[in-house]
Structure 1
Amino acid sequence: MSSAFQLNDSRLSLRWAKPEDVPLIHSMIKGLADYEQRPHDMIARPENLHECLFGESPLAETILAFYQDQAAGFALFQTLYSTFLGKRYLYLEDIFILPRFRGKGIGKHLFTSLATVCLSRGYAGLEWSVLDWNDPAIGFYKALGATKASGHLYYALTGNALRRLSNKAS
């Protein structure tokens, strides 16, 4: 796997994250939590992130974006399996561009690199979720050619609800 992605913009570079990038990635995840108005939900620590990305059994991968050699954003994703398609696909957990770097094509380049990763690995596609109030992101995704997955609603079971359900099984 190459450490960098080929781009046609000399101001921008993308590369795979390395273990020493964990503090940078962690700080950008904090920025994302703030943007999504959920700083209280950001409890992950750099150690958790390091284990997830670079531990014995990595669970996710990250591509970092730099604009004029300054950290500008990231995409963190994992591989999932579709029983209907019988193939793997990429699930984009998070993509974030620091506010001062938005509008410079960085998000498009990150998505282009993700599409390239999908195709090079023979995966079925790329999926992600977006907050329903995030109109700028939704417009950006539509401009890329993405379509809303029909018939699906996103649900989560965490915290006290998860514990209550687990206790019912005992």
Structure 2
Amino acid sequence: MAPGTNVQSQNDPAARPRVLIRDATATDVGPILRLVRALAEYERLGHEVTATEAEMREALFGPLPRVHALLAEVAGEPVGLALFYYTLNTFKLRPNIFLEDLFVDPAYRGSGIGIALMRTLARRAVAENCSRVEWRVLNWNRPSIEFYRRIGAESIVDWHTLLLDGAALAALAEGTSHG
């Protein structure tokens, strides 16, 4: 489905809200940050959100955009978000899409918005010759894991996600020992 396309849920179109999925614009920075904060609260990580609207604007719409966003709107109000960026599959020399954040306002969950966002992202990946879409999900987030499995996603079992930040990142950058 092309961004900017109206979609309606497959189950009971009459009972589901009319949803517009579209690319975010610079005027959407406030709602995007609101949805990111809501996601962080849901993930019990609200204390980690330090991003400002100015930083979000620079990341999305600055001279070198680092991230892209799709918004799901109901009656003109943003109620869902897919925040993503591109990586590279070096073996195939094709781009990948990495879905950093997917969030649907709790009042709209189960209404087809999550699948509409994922379908729009999948169509973009196919249109842009990407080799895959990948993302992470917290181990305890069973509703999301079940949703992802229903759409055909598989867990990556042979790889570990690792993180280098804080003092360890600074130590490596400075060439000093962390341990």
2:93 pairs, out of 71, 83, 86, with 86
Superposed counterparts of 1:68-87, under 5 Å = 68-87=75-94
2:26 pairs, out of 12, 15, 19, with 19
The corresponding residue for 1:102 is 109
- Structure 1 residue 41 displacement after superposition: 1.0
Q: Could you give the per-residue CA deviations for residues 72-125 of structure 1, whole angstroms, max 9, x where no partner exists?
A: 110010011011222111000101001111010100000000010001111111
Q: Write the distance in 1 (CA, Å) between the matches of 2:157 and 2:143.
A: 20
Correspondence 1:141 to 2:110: no
Long gaps (5+) in structure 2: 10-16
Superposed counterparts of 1:127-166, under 5 Å = 127-166=134-173
The corresponding residue for 2:64 is 57
Equivalent pairs counted in the alignment come to: 169
Letter of the 1:155 counterpart: L
Long gaps (5+) in structure 1: none
Correspondence 1:123 to 2:148: no
The corresponding residue for 1:4 is 4
- Structure 1 residue 169 displacement after superposition: 4.8
After TM superposition, the structure 1 stretch with the greater mean CA deviation from structure 2, 157-166 or 143-152, is: 157-166
Structure with the bigger RCO (C-alpha within 8 Å, sep 6+) is 2
After TM superposition, the structure 1 stretch with the greater mean CA deviation from structure 2, 159-168 or 93-102, is: 159-168
TM-score (norm 2): 0.88
**Secondary structure, counterpart of 1:132 in structure 2:** coil
- Seen in structure 2, the aligned counterparts of structure 1 residues 5 and 149 have a Cα distance that, compared at 3 Å, is farther
Q: Write the distance in 2 (CA, Å) between the matches of 1:110 and 1:150.
A: 25
Q: Write the distance in 1 (CA, Å) between the matches of 2:154 and 2:3.
A: 30
TM-score (norm 1): 0.93
- Structure 1 residue 35 displacement after superposition: 0.6
